[in-house]
Structure formats: structure tokens, C-alpha cells
Chains A and B, each alone.
Chain A
Amino acid sequence: MGEPLQIQVNGTRHFVAADPETPLLWVLREDLGLTGTKYGCGEGACGACSVLVGGNLRRSCQVPLRAAAGKAITTIEGLEQNGRLHPVQQAFLDAGAFQCACCTSGMIVAGVALLGQFPSPSPQQITQFLQGNICRCGTYPRIADAIARAAEAMRKARP
């Protein structure tokens, strides 16, 4: 197993003694108890396990622990700050953009990444960017709406 690897998740450093090939998804869920990140397919095809690694959107089931080591990782649990929801989380609530909500963590994290890249996304940019995230309940129109609302809220909040 070798030396424990250091990862930084939501601003906290952890030392993880696990096989360095373990997908980050399972490290988050099993070693760190961060179960907001979901398993959906294990092949990077559904987006349920989306996290930010070094600010970039990644499927945590496809990122081995060794590749995440030393990088700043943000999961769904890290978006709320001091009891205040991230604008994307708030927009999902406001738009009622979930049904069973199993895809919601991944959708919100992907939405955060999207707005980092395109602060004022067009509807086409939203659908293209989120093409890798599956919502089996078919809540896509409201998810797109929530992201547009969040973009608007974030624009207004900027000085």
C-alpha cells in the first residue's frame, strides 16, 4: 500500500492510506465519509460523481487517488460557505431542479465548473457542457434554467 497520500478536500488536508490506484470516488465516500458524491456508472459516463480537481471538472470514478494527491479538490459538501448555499445550489432549490435528486450533486458541481468557464452561458453552452451528466428523472429543462438563474445571481453579486 505504501505511504499515505495527502489530498486536500474542501480546504482540509487528509492523509489516506489506500491503494494509489483507488478511484477518488471511493476515497471520498469510504475513507472521508463524503457521500454527497455518488456512484452512477464507474466509467465516467453519467456525471453523478463529478468533483472539481484543481478547479477542473472531473469524474471522480475516473481519477485515481495518486492523480488527485496534492491537488485541491472540491466536492458538493464544499460548496456551502458558512451556512450560505452556493448560488448554483440556491438556484437548484429555487427552480425545483431535481426529483429523486441522485444526479443533483454531480449536476451542481458541473454547473459550478460551467459558470467558472462561461460566466454568462448561452443555452447551447449549458446543454453542451452538461451533456455528460444524466438525469433519469428528466429534469433537464429545470436544471438548465437553474444554471441560467445562478449565472444571473452571480453576475449581480459581482462588484
Chain B
Amino acid sequence: MSEPRDTFVPEPERFEFTAAPVHHFDWTRRDFFKITGSGVAVILAVPRGADAQESGRGREFGHALPQEISAWLHIGEDGAVTVFTGKVEVGQNIRTSLAQSVADELRVPFESVRMVMGDTARTPWDMGTFGSRSTPTMAPQLRRAASALRDLLVELAAKRWNLAPGGLKANAARVADPASGRSATYAELASGQKLAQTIPAEDPVTPASQWTVTGQPLPKVYGRAFVTGRHQYTPDIRPEGVLCGKVLRAPAFGATLVSLDSREAQAMPGVTVVRDGDFVGVAAPRWRDAERALAALRAEWKTMPQPSRSEIFTYLKNNVEPGGERNARRETGSVDSALAAAPHRLAETYTVSYIAHAPLEPRAALAEWKDGSLTVWTGSQRPFAVRDELAAAFHLPEDRVRVIVPDTGSAYGGKHTGEAAVEAARIARAANRPVSLLWTREEEFTWAYFRPAGVIEVKSAATQDGRLLAWEFHNYNSGAAGIGTPYAVENQRVEYHPVRSPLRQGSYRALAATANHFARESHMDELARAVGMDPLEFRLKNLTDERLRAAFQAAAKAFGWPGKKERPGQGFGLGGGVEKAGYVATCAEVRVDRASAEVRVERVVTAFECGAIVNPDGLRNQVMGANIMGLGGALFEAVEFENGRVTNPRFSEYRVPRFQDVPQMDVVLLDRKDLPSAGAGECPIVGLAPAVANAIFDATGARLRALPLVPNGLKGLPL
């Protein structure tokens, strides 16, 4: 059951999908070979609607759009294969896995494929790297391009030898004529050519069962640059004369600047101060000088009272956006009458807190102006959106702005916007020098956007023997992703209620699916207990989706479900679901120590299925990483805020998972070579929080319905 490829619409909580730029791809052959050099190329054109992510325009869905380019592939006179795609590498290993697909289909060694990614001057337009879309969309497109390029090379060889192409074979970067024993390398065939062919993006030609490079656990490309510290992330690029930029931050969200006295700062050697409306920035030779200059600014701000964390859930319930009910309301059967008649009924409320992505590389940008054109290096998941932001901010045509995304120190959905890029560019323009700007950790914890907080209300009903009868599910603010239940239930009402969030909020790994799965899978556990069934048995009884059943069964088997309690304080729980075309089930074992009030996740087993596996090594890293990241949001992470101020904006105050929090972990990968590959960065995180909450209940009898579950251990819990 793969997602139809023409119906991808980004979820509303993907941050700010309002920009609808007008793009023109007037690529001529000349432009093209200026970028690539001579050789043979295949350009992939996506007709409107064939793939929304690569050709869509946010709000412009449904309007006529010209054919557009999604990627291209080039083989040079030296045989080097270069792939151009607007996707970016943020740790999810897509640079490696996309290169695998190309090597496979083109029949070249993996090492000969070079990926040019996320550079608005050299790669085709791309909506962004998010939504677990790169593997299911870009990989098959590149495969298609690679197979067309292979055909082109075979044709060139056929022409050269005056033969029919049908009898020739392409393999190991060479076209051979088995009959005569003649062969020519791709490099020889590409030599002297300036041949470009445009093909439509269609399905790939080599089935997963015949992959050779794809499916292999190849190590991450450029690994040596990372372990030697040579890889240059955005803050590491330091051109001659670069200055350090910093921004004066308001004391609270929504504050406006009343007055500024910058005389002292401006008198410092090498310091430039720029004020533009409420924006105040400084440039100075070095970090410490910029800090000093910032500290020397005398600013007066006007603030407004704002909600605090203690009242946030009431606030969310009371501030539903008018007209919001048109969003994602689904109704089947009659929930009300089913609820009224059912032998087992349950109504519970779950909450999730705002949490921060806290990527180890904070937002960063290097901006350089030259002859009225702007180049910005920045860590972003959406280079083209950042380009548009810059073009709008500085009233420039798009072709005067170039955004380059070096492989970035992680993002997790947190880097969809271009704040640092705009700030660096504004300061650089004032200072007339290149400016490097790196947010401090405090800035990252305060001025980035957060995973939304939310309130989720669930009502349900089941028969005596544990069949679901009714399911009502309301999500306030946290989002619609993963809101639909995978369980078979006739009477349903499922609704997402958008709220004007008091904190800036946006995308986060798996979006609201973490919140919705937490509520749903916790509630399923509660319902199982209410009807007196084993939680796994209860789920399977109500589950017809074979892929999700298989994931639950695989996780349960590897875990030894239902487990046997051998020590006091031990508990077992499970959770799972379907998200972004992936299927996950997670079992967790916790140990609760009443004496020390500590709660520890001891063991996690995750079974994950995402169709045909592209790179099992990278996939394991992602599944393990998702679970460990998920531990933070499950157990202790929360953004604390009071009256427009974040009060825990440091790693010493905002606890993230560390070495000692890591449980014993097993990952069971289900490889379905008969199914299309799905993305894997997001789905594996969704089972963890409910599995842990359910395990804590199993250990203590306390049902915790708020994320984070145990920010202070057992202290203050109803035990």
C-alpha cells in the first residue's frame, strides 16, 4: 500500500508554506554545459502533478505549471558522474543513499558518483528536504534519469560501431559488444560530446530484487572529512576579511524597539552597528568583539504580557482559530450512538509540551555581497525557500541571490526557515564585508521555532471481547500528521483544531505524529486494560493492515512480549503506527526505582518496515537515532517559558538524552523488496513515547498522559 505519488500535500504545520514564487526554468543547452562541462547529460522533467514535492508550489497546487526540472545527471569526459539535486544532507545520509541508486542504475562504481546538492545556482528547484520524501521521490527519479543516461551511452556506442543498440551491454562504466568483444568506457563515449536529453520522470526500471549497489550497507560518503574535522559546516567557512555578526535580541517575544543608543558600540574598533526597524545587528572582527559590541548597546524595548507554560493547555483549548474546523475533520458512522451503547467506554485527555530541535549546529549563515549579488551559505532544509526569503527581504531578483547549503549539523525539521541567512545578509550589507553569523545556543533555544504543544482528547468504546466500536479524537494545536487511526473502527470522528500558538512553532521530526501516536497508543493501552486484554492482542484484534501487524509481531517476537517481570519496578509497554509510508512498532522496558525516584528506559526493541531497504546501515542509524531523540521528548524535554521569555535556553537547563540515558537497543528491519522504498527519518520516532508511557503504567500503575512523562523522575506522580 504505497502512497500515491501524485497526492503529496505538505501538512499545514510544515512551517510557513506561504511562499509561492514564480520560477522560470529557461535552461538552455549552453547554460547547462556551463555548469557541467562537456559530456552527456540527462535532464529530468517533472510534468505538473506527477510529483508534488518536486514540481509543486505550495499554494499553487492545481494551477497550470510548466514542465519543470527536478534533477539532472551528467557524465563528463573523464567518466565522472555528477548528480545535481536540490536535496540537502543534514545527517540523514541521503547524499550516500541517492548516490547508491544512481550507481546501481547507471552501472558505475559507487565511488565514481558525486552529488551536487542544495545549491540554488547549480541544482534544480526543490521544495525542500523534509516529509520523508527524498527516498520515495528523488531516488526513483534519479534512477530513471540514470537508466536513460545509460541508454544514451549505449546508443552512442552503437553509433560508433555501427551496430544496433539492442545487442550491447552496459556494465562497470563501460559499454560492451559481447559478439565482437569490443568495448568502450563511458568516459570515451562522453568525450567530445555536448549531448543533453530531457526525459519525463517515470518509475524506475530495475526492480529492488535486482539491485546491486542499493540495499548494501555502504559507509557514509566523505566520512574521512568528518572524522578529521575537515568538513566545513557553514560556520567553518571563513573567507578573507570575514566579520562576526550578531543580532540584538529582544527581551521577550513580540517586543518592539523603542530606542537605541549605539554610540559606545560604534566607537569600538572595527565595529559596525546596523539598525533597520526593530532589527539591530553588529559586525565585529571576531566573536568576542561582537559580544562586547552587543553588550555595549543600550536598547529600550516595549513588551506585552504573554501566556506562560503553566497555563498553556488551557490557553490552547480556549484559542482555537475561527474557521479551523474545516481542517482535517473526518467522520464515519455514528460515534455518539456507538459510544452511548457500548459496554466499555473511555474518555481521556493527553498533552504534549513544546520541545526544541536543538541541532548541535545552531542556525548559521555566511553572507557575501558582490556587485549587487548576494551569496549565502547556510544550514537549511529548504535552500530555495531561503533564496526566496532573501530575494524578498532585499528586493532582489532571484537570479541575484545564491544559496548554498553545506552538509549541515542536523535539522530534524527545525531548519525550514532562513532567519540567520537574512540577518547575516543585512549585517554584511551594512558592513560591506562578508559576515558569518552563528546563533548562540540561547538564541537557538529561544528564537527558533518549536515542536507545537498540544491537547488531545480521546473518547473510545469497545465490546466485551475487545473490538473497537467508536473512536473520537480531537487534536488542539499540535497538528494533523498521524491523526488518523490505523485500527479498524466503524464509527469515527477525528479532528484537528488549529490554534494561534503563543510560541513560534513549526515542523519537527514526524511533526504531530509523535503527539498523535502518544495519545492514540496510550489510549489503546488503557482500553486494552479496561477490557482485560493483553495490549498486543487487543491491537492485533483491531488491526487489518498487514504491514503494521507484521511490524507489531516482529517487535513483540524480538522483545519477548509480553515479558516476564523478574525485578521490582520493571514494566513493559508497546506502541506503533503508520507514518510517512513507514510501519513501526516499538517495545520498551522500563525500571522504576521508588527509593531514588528514578525512571530508566532499560531496553527498546523497534521493528521498522519502509519497503525496499536502500542502505541498511544508514537505516539502522536513523532508527536508533530516532528512538534516542524520542527518549528526550518522552521523558524530560520541555521548553519552559514565562511571559514571552524562554527560561531554560541552555543545555545545562534543557535536558537532552545523553550517553547514560541510552537503553539497550535492538532494531529489526523488515525488508520488503516487493514494495517501494519509503523515507525513514521520521516514522521510527513515533512508537517510543507511548511504549515508554505504557511501560511506566505496567511498572507502577500510574497512567501518565502528559509529555514529557517524568521530567522530575517519580516526584510528584500519583503513586
- Chain A residues engaging chain B, CB cutoff 8 angstroms: 18-19, 21-23, 26, 29-31, 33-43, 45-46, 48, 75-77, 79-80, 85, 89-90, 92-93, 96, 98-105, 108, 126-128, 130-142, 144
Contacts and interface: CB of A to CB of B under 8 A. Distances in A.
Contact of A100 (B223, B359, B656, B662): B359
B226 A30 contact: no
Contacts, number: 173
B219 A93 contact: yes
Nearest to A37: B229
B286 A26 contact: yes
B208 to A, nearest CB: 22
Interface string B226-243: 111111110110100000
B624 A100 contact: no
Most buried by B among A21, A93, A105, A137: A137
Interface of B is mostly: loop
Most buried by B among A41, A98, A101, A139: A101
B640 interface: no
A128 B388 CA distance: 46
A75 B236 CA distance: 15
A142 B286 CA distance: 36
Interface in B550-585: none
B651 A134 contact: yes
B409 A139 contact: no
A100 B92 CA distance: 7
B235 A39 contact: yes
B650 A41 contact: yes
Interface of B: 90-93, 219-220, 223-224, 226-233, 235-236, 238, 244, 286-288, 357-362, 407-410, 412, 438, 440-441, 617-618, 621-622, 624-629, 650-652, 656-660, 662, 665
B230 A36 contact: yes
A29 to B, nearest CB: 8
B671 to A, nearest CB: 18
A103 B360 contact: yes
Contacts of B238: 30, 33, 35
Interface of A is mostly: loop
Contacts of A93: 219, 223-224, 227
Contact of A43 (B93, B235, B650): B650
Contact of B657 (A75, A85, A138): A138
Most buried by A among B238, B286, B626: B286
Contact of A80 (B92, B228, B438): B228
A131 B660 contact: yes
A62 to B, nearest CB: 12
Contact of A133 (B286, B362, B659): B659
A29 B410 CA distance: 20
Contacts of A38: 233, 235, 360-361, 409
Given A33-B238, A42-B440, A131-B660, A92 B227 contact: yes
Closest 8 CB pairs of A and B: A36-B229, A100-B91, A138-B628, A102-B409, A76-B229, A138-B625, A35-B236, A100-B410
